[in-house]
Amino acid sequence: MSLYGELKRRNVIRVAVVYLVGGWLLTLLAAVTFPYLGVSDWWTHFLVIVLALGFLPTMVVAWLFVITPGGVIRDTPITQSSAKPLDVFIMALVIAALSLFLAGHFWFAGGPIESNSVTQDRVAANGLATTQYPAHSIAVLPFVNMSDDASNEYFSDGISEELLNLLARVHKLRVISRSSAFSFKGKDLDIPTIAAQLNVAHVLEGSVRRAGDRVRITVQLIDARSDTHLWSETFDRELDDIFAIQDEIASTVVEQLKVTLLGESPTSEEVDPAAYMLYLQARHLGNRGTATTTEQSIALYQQALAVEPRYASAWSGLANSYLNLYLHGQLSREESTHLAREASQRALELDADHAPAYAHLSRIELTYDRDLAVAAQHLQHALKLEPTNPEILHRAIVMAYRLGRMDDAIRIGKYTIERDPANPESHYYIGFAYLWAGQLDEALSAFGTTLMLSPEYTSAHYRRGVALLLKGQPEAALEEMLQEKHAAKQLEGRAIAYHALGEDGKSTEALRELIEKYEFNSAYNIAYVLAYLGENDRAFEWLAKAAEYRDSGLTQMAHQPEFANIHDDPRWLPALESAGVAPDQLAAIGFNVSLP
């Protein structure tokens, strides 16, 4: 008899099918139910190992013994009647396994979620989340506005953000930043799914109802691993008590999570309630990031300061809006910088430990005064005060790679992504660091994640194009450049990509249009495009123009890869020294970032 025939006679094939299907069923059952029972993933892995190790011994037993109506005996030909029950058992196992698979996919998982902008699988695949859930980790979701007036949404969002900021001051607690937590606003996802995407063990959610001077805040703390409530409370208070409510919620959350504090629990900055309401409206509008809402935020900050002139956070918010007005082209750089500097300094006069104000001063020194040393000093102090503030961490990444400290930039970037995984800026800035460090595949991945989260993110396609050019893939680089939405950056990309492809006519035309339309705002960029094209004399002429126009790009010229062609030119080192970014000048700047 053939080996196959003997295996069939001894029932080994049937037993193998039963074992494999049964093992699959057990593994599916464990994968679906263990997370909801709070059982560690380790036990699922252990079960798979045991099943794998048990397969061969089971096949040996099946070879030596057979099941008959009279019991288990050694090597007796099996009858047809005794084989039928085993076949029925096999079919039952297959049906049960398929049923469990479908139930796990549609019922336990809450149905397919691929239609959402960031699915769990895509997030995990792009490094936005891991399978680990740090115990001392939390996301504060935007509270639901339950007020009769829909315009009160700024108040519910503001309360959520204030609680998030309070909890973020507890350095031993990993708090997901606003941009990532608020990215789930309005999406019909359950708590375990959101927690998995943000890689947190706990979620704080709630609702806010405001009627005149009365406010009701309902809040609940959820253990996302088991989807169970740890604590919930409803506060019915006068608006004057809003700060006490926030402090009580933050203190209770810290207590529930058993976080050991090195000092007292964080507390709110108490101000006049009318000023506070204006401040929340101003911040809400400023977060929208348009030219119109930025102007509106300035008016509201000014109204808040008219009520409460000693409101440090309002002065700092005002400074930020002034700086953003320049980006929208509504104020000159000089006027924007002057107003922002005054507002930041006023905030520090009122609160010497107000970290965002130091960050604004650092931004001014970097982009207007082009003084890297002073900018680094301000930023380091801001980080010392608020080492987990995502906006300050973003600026720290930029500072590190402008100083040429790519390892530090990447380290800070990875830390930032842990706390701000759904923010495209987090991935964009670490992509910049990877690009300048020569880690091109990592840069492509980071910029790809940026575009997944924000398909029209400015300069991300251009940066991917540069990485592809450095990898020697000009055709793919041009494809990326043509997808760039920012008009000036697309022209830059077309100029260098067409040159790399040998299409100098198209390259020259793109450069001509770039100069014609964007001379003042893109003098530094025009310089590095010319350097890439090998036009050294013109490149240095445009570097001189960039200095004349006070172009902040000069603070990063030492490491910009597009300048590689002119590094051997005798004019290069003097140009670096003139911009204050020669190697010895950068090495002398102190900027040491210690992360919690």
- Residues of the chain with pLDDT > 70: what percent? 82
- Mean pLDDT, range 515-531, rounded to an integer: 95
Q: According to the model, what pLDDT value does residue 116 have?
A: 34
The 8-class DSSP code of residue 128 comes to: S
- In CATH, the architecture of 270-386 is Alpha Horseshoe (1.25)
The CA-atom distances, in angstroms, between 246 and each of 239, 402, 506 are 12, 39, 59
Where does the chain hold its CATH 1.25.40.10 domain(s)? Answer: 270-386
Q: What fold does the segment set 128-268 form as a domain? A: Rossmann fold (3.40.50)
CB 466 within 8 A of CB 459: no
349 pLDDT band (50/70/90 cuts)?
very high
DSSP lists the bridge partners of residue 67 as 72
The mean-pLDDT minimum among 32-36, 171-175, 365-369 falls in 32-36
Above pLDDT 90, what percent of the chain? 46
**pLDDT single digits (tens) 550-564:** 898 999 999 999 999
Q: CB–CB of 94/23 below 8 Å? A: no
Residues 110-155 pLDDT 10s: 333 333 333 334 344 444 444 456 778 888 998 888 887 777 788 8
Q: Pick from 140, 136, 142: which is nearest to 165 by CA?
A: 140
pTM (2 d.p.): 0.70
Task: Indicate the average pLDDT of the chain.
Answer: 83
* Residue 483 structure tokens: 């997808």
| The pLDDT of residue 71 is above 70 | no
Residues 497, 463: Cα–Cα separation, whole Å:
12
CA distance 400 to 407: 8
Place of tokens 């530090």: 408
Q: Phi then psi for 294, rounded to 5 degrees? A: -65, -45
* pLDDT category of residue 447 using cuts at 50, 70 and 90: very high
Q: What is the biggest distance separating any 2 CA atoms in the chain, rounded to whole angstroms? A: 100
What is the model's pLDDT at position 80? 43
User: What's the pLDDT band for 537 if we cut at 50, 70, 90?
Assistant: very high
CA angle 495, 500, 506 (to 5 degrees): 40
Q: Which two tokens stand for residue 110?
A: 């809450």
Confidence band, pLDDT 50/70/90 cuts, at residue 74: low
pLDDT higher than 80, residue 456: yes
Asked if residue 5 has pLDDT above 90, the reply is no
Which distant-in-sequence residues (6+ apart) come within 8 Å of 562 by Cβ? Answer: 466, 496, 528, 529, 531, 532
